[in-house]
Structure 1
Amino acid sequence: MKSTEITREEMWAKQHLSANEIDYAIWEQDKVVLQQMSKISRSCSFVVDVYKYRYAFASSNFADILGYDSRKIATLEKQGDYLESRFHPDDFARLEQLQINLSKFIYSLPHEQRNDYCNIYSFRLMNAKQQYIRVISRQQVLEQSRNGKAWLILGNIEIAPNQTETDQVECTVLNLKNGEMFSPTLVSIPRIHLTQRELEILQLIQKGLLSKEIAHNLCISIHTVNIHRQNLLHKLGVQNSIEAINAGLKSGILS
């Protein structure tokens, strides 16, 4: 069923989250708050655990308002992609592609900017009467790891006030820091500008040379090589040489 070159889970895996970076005691506190909020709000909230690649929570409103099985909602972490089972199949395929494209954009940004966005989708979902209705889903980072990586994603689904029949999946991205909004169809990965020296070093890294060998080849000090390497990692938005090579290949900097 997968029609994309890379899955959402593979995009999440690019963060390289580890157990020592996250604290599930924080999630237990968040869960209590979400359960209390679900009694006040009539929207349907859910949480995705990026570390475990699965849904961690869904409010009871999914059963009350949209007709989901209440027992499966209560044990959503064991139900796989149950929430998505009621999405319109055509819309689901489009949503998946949009999420992957947006993830590529997010991971092209510097680490400190990656958690600043809220993605807003409009699509069709089957309700309790077995009819497809239009809903609005908002998703943003709820909790970060100790290293600032997206760990828990909070989603909120509500029935759209405009029920005009259409087969279009709409998506808007909101920058939570400055209020700017844009369409993902206009998203492009920023051009990466490397100096000639940085490019030379990246090419030598691709060939498997160590810093000492690169310094010898370019007649510069190891300290200078290491400074260039750190600049490379920052500009490419990666954490190690393997990721730098992959980013260079994807962006066309390397061949």
Structure 2
Amino acid sequence: MRDLLDIKLLSQSFETIQNPDEKLDNAKRIAQMYSQFENCIAVLSDIKARKSFLYYGALASQLGLSEQDQEIKSIWEDQLLCKVHPEDLQKKYRLEFQFFKHLHHTPAEERMDYEVITKLRIKNRESKYVLVRHRLLYISSSDDGSIWLALCLYHMIYDHPEFEVPQGIIINNKSGKIIEQNEVQFSVLLSTREKEVLQLIKRGRRSKEIADKLALSINTINRHRQNIFQKLNVSNAMEACRMAETMGLV
């Protein structure tokens, strides 16, 4: 799933960004303030430049990470992500893909109203899993609508009923409305017929062969193909098969 996120995030056009240095500096200050005032780990990712800025608050020490701020040549904070429980990491990537797909159809000026909140198990410095709340916000876009700057925030979850954190949601933090929740959305994403067509595509069958196999017209098969590509937010059959496998659809 991370590979597919890379494809979607890094293949954006980023045609024009007005005052990019000023906007990036402002975003860095915001990330640094979060880390200092909330004792969290803040990760600001510049998707166009394919690099990130890490700001370590007190949580970093608890997780066995150096508290020294740093810049890395990646949009992924692997020093931290390698400590996340594998099941939670896949859940995080799947939800973030849904988030990207949702924001892709959201006006740029409204994108900061949305965020992903995920509960993660992360190993601390004693290699024991502790609960951490992860938040993802896209805080700036290029003029053509490409998502440019992403802010990830990691906070310790304390064992208190008032601090209950959902397993994973996409939420409008302005209205409080939950947009999509958990993996149920994946299972109903494609119709039964679309799954049949995709299974045959995966086996290397061409549209004419699929049409003969299912006793349908080639126009109907091509329409199913286009619907599959649109629903999975992909542009070709190979990418569709990879996406469907990751989502458990085929």
Q: TM-score range by the shorter chain?
A: 0.5 to 0.7
Q: Structure 2 vs 1, CA of residues 101 and 247 (structure 1 numbering), >3 Å: closer, same or farther?
A: farther
Deviation at 1:56, TM superposition (A): 2.4
Q: Structure 2 vs 1, CA of residues 20 and 154 (structure 1 numbering), >3 Å: closer, same or farther?
A: closer
2:183 equivalent among 179, 185, 200: 185
Q: Check the 8 A contact 1:119/1:138 in 2, yes or no.
A: yes
- Bigger shift: residues 135-144 or 74-83: 74-83
In the aligned structure 2, how far is the partner of 1:247 from the partner of 1:111?
Answer: 26
Instruction: Specify the alignment match of 1:141 in structure 2.
Output: 138
List runs of 5+ in structure 1 lacking aligned partners.
191-245
Q: Structure 2 vs 1, CA of residues 57 and 18 (structure 1 numbering), >3 Å: closer, same or farther?
A: farther
Instruction: Specify the alignment match of 2:234 in structure 1.
Output: none
TM-score normalised by the chain length of structure 1: 0.60
Which has the higher Rg, Structure 1 or Structure 2? 1
**Residue 161 (1) aligns with residue 158 (2):** yes
Q: Check the 8 A contact 1:118/1:138 in 2, yes or no.
A: yes
Instruction: Specify the alignment match of 1:92 in structure 2.
Output: 89
Q: Check the 8 A contact 1:138/1:156 in 2, yes or no.
A: yes
Deviation at 1:105, TM superposition (A): 3.3
**Residue 105 (1) aligns with residue 102 (2):** yes
Q: Can you list the C-alpha shifts for 1:21-48, whole angstroms capped at 9, x where unaligned?
A: 5602222233234334433322222212
Q: Check the 8 A contact 2:118/2:134 in 1, yes or no.
A: yes
Q: Structure 2 vs 1, CA of residues 111 and 119 (structure 1 numbering), >3 Å: closer, same or farther?
A: same
Deviation at 1:13, TM superposition (A): 3.3
Q: Structure 2 vs 1, CA of residues 112 and 37 (structure 1 numbering), >3 Å: closer, same or farther?
A: closer
Q: Check the 8 A contact 1:49/1:151 in 2, yes or no.
A: yes
**Residue 58 (1) aligns with residue 55 (2):** yes
Q: Structure 2 vs 1, CA of residues 33 and 110 (structure 1 numbering), >3 Å: closer, same or farther?
A: closer
Aligned length in residues: 191
Q: Structure 2 vs 1, CA of residues 123 and 26 (structure 1 numbering), >3 Å: closer, same or farther?
A: same
Instruction: Specify the alignment match of 2:39 in structure 1.
Output: 42
**Residue 16 (1) aligns with residue 13 (2):** yes
List runs of 5+ in structure 2 lacking aligned partners.
190-224, 232-236, 238-250
1:251 equivalent among 230, 233, 245: 230
TM-score normalised by the chain length of structure 2: 0.61
CA RMSD of aligned residues (A): 3.6
Instruction: Specify the alignment match of 2:72 in structure 1.
Output: 77
In the aligned structure 1, how far is the partner of 2:160 from the partner of 2:127?
Answer: 16
Q: What is the percent sequence identity of the aligned residues?
A: 19
